[in-house]
Amino acid sequence: MPKPYVNFSEDEFRERQRRVRSELVARDLDGLLVSRVEDQHWLCGLDTDGFVIFHIMFIGSGGQLTHVSRTADIASIDYSSLCDDVRVWEDAEGNSKSKAIRDMLASHGMAGKRIGVQLDTFGLLPALHVELREALDGWCELVDASNLVRLMRLVKSPAELEHHRHAGRILDRACARAIELTAPGADEGHVLAEVYRIIWEEGADIPANRMPMGHGDKAMNVRYVTGRGSIGENDQVTFEMGDAWRHYHVADMFTVLTGPKIDPRHLKMHEACVEALDSVQAALRPGRKLGEVFEAHRATLAAHGFEHAILKACGYTMGATFPPTWMEQPMIYRDNPLVLEPNMVFFTPHDPERPESRPDHVAGGDVDHQEWRARSDHPCSTRGDHPPLKSPGSL
């Protein structure tokens, strides 16, 4: 297979670019400066983490497609991108990135034009945004178009959905191994090493963010923290596992109770979360709003007496993402007006907490890490009907 090495057909990439150009015309924009690497990947296949230093792409309504990057990323562009118009910004003292961007725009006749810009990305940090505004002030008009590509990416193609499914099958095996190894005395590092081993050996990508595994005092952090330890008796081990296939992510959140004693509150919360998860799945249908999905979550947990313990969001969309996180907008929270469409993919963790007594924080319920698609019939399989996860010998 010749370069570039891309994960979709060239026809699919061309159709994505056509849709973006059509939307540019609809918004009376002459082009878009694409600073979100996920959008660049979706438009031309670009596969690099060099965006953390500097990388931007321009797509014009008239057919233009151009990278502006550093010499360090030329090989990555050659390897992965269908865009062959590459302009190089030189790393040098006093050499402005915004000048390189303006020179590129000038070469495409963008003086006096309306150019979209993305204001919510890791690729356009505040310092560069200020610099860019100063360089282009009076030369062209910059218009916020942060959501132009992101909203298109929410609805997945059949090929994208298959990447999600394949990642889910691999994560199934990794999570099963984590559960198998979780027992009193087990080393946290060994459990995580086995999870990563399976992901690597299956040819998948490790997730865009470091996977949280909490036990003891960090059981409910639900965030990665440094330092390892051994799992104890009567411990609560909270996992938020993830992987990706060709950058398309899935995730799974679950809790293992080591015993030998099981707190009845865990079982009660697990029961509530299973029902809430079913309610959320039932609400994930085309034409419904994300705010309605959150209300299904809230109302179910409230009926079980846990409204005081719910978090203020119960999930978010998933797709092809790059470090530092697999999370993307939109999130499922109160009154979110986004209307669901077929073939959107969401991760819906349920982890109510007990804020009045930190040692008693508990998490219940499993989440489906295959895919939850908004569709007219029943979504894909749920793990919500699984019994609570306990180590052998637990009461």
pLDDT of residue 389: 53
Task: Give the Cβ contact number of residue 357 at 10 Å.
Answer: 8
pLDDT of residue 130: 95
Question: Which amino acid makes up residue 26?
Answer: A
Q: How far apart are CA 212 and CA 219, in angstroms?
A: 9
Q: Mind listing the pLDDT tens digit of every residue in the chain (395 residues)?
A: 578 999 999 999 999 999 999 999 999 999 999 999 999 999 999 999 999 899 999 999 999 999 999 999 999 999 999 999 999 999 999 999 999 999 999 999 999 999 999 999 999 999 999 999 999 999 999 999 999 999 999 999 999 999 999 999 999 999 999 999 999 999 999 999 999 999 999 999 999 999 999 999 998 888 889 999 999 999 999 999 999 999 999 999 999 999 999 888 888 988 999 999 999 999 999 999 999 999 999 999 999 999 888 889 999 999 999 999 999 999 999 999 999 999 999 999 887 765 444 333 333 333 333 333 333 332 322 334 455 554 444 44
Q: How far apart are CA 244 and CA 242, in angstroms?
A: 7
Q: What is the pTM of this model?
A: 0.90
pLDDT of residue 357: 40
Q: Are 389 and 256 in contact (CB under 8 A)?
A: yes
**Tokens linked to 306:** 């846990």
pLDDT of residue 46: 97
**Tokens linked to 209:** 């963010």
Alpha helices in the chain (DSSP H): 10-26, 37-44, 74-80, 97-107, 126-136, 148-153, 158-181, 188-201, 264-283, 290-303
Q: How far apart are CA 86 and CA 40, in angstroms?
A: 13
* CATH superfamily to which 158-390 belongs: Creatinase/methionine aminopeptidase superfamily (3.90.230.10)
10-153 shares its CATH topology with 158-390: no
Residue spans per domain, the chain = 10-153, 158-390
* CATH superfamily to which 10-153 belongs: Creatinase/prolidase N-terminal domain (3.40.350.10)
pLDDT of residue 374: 36
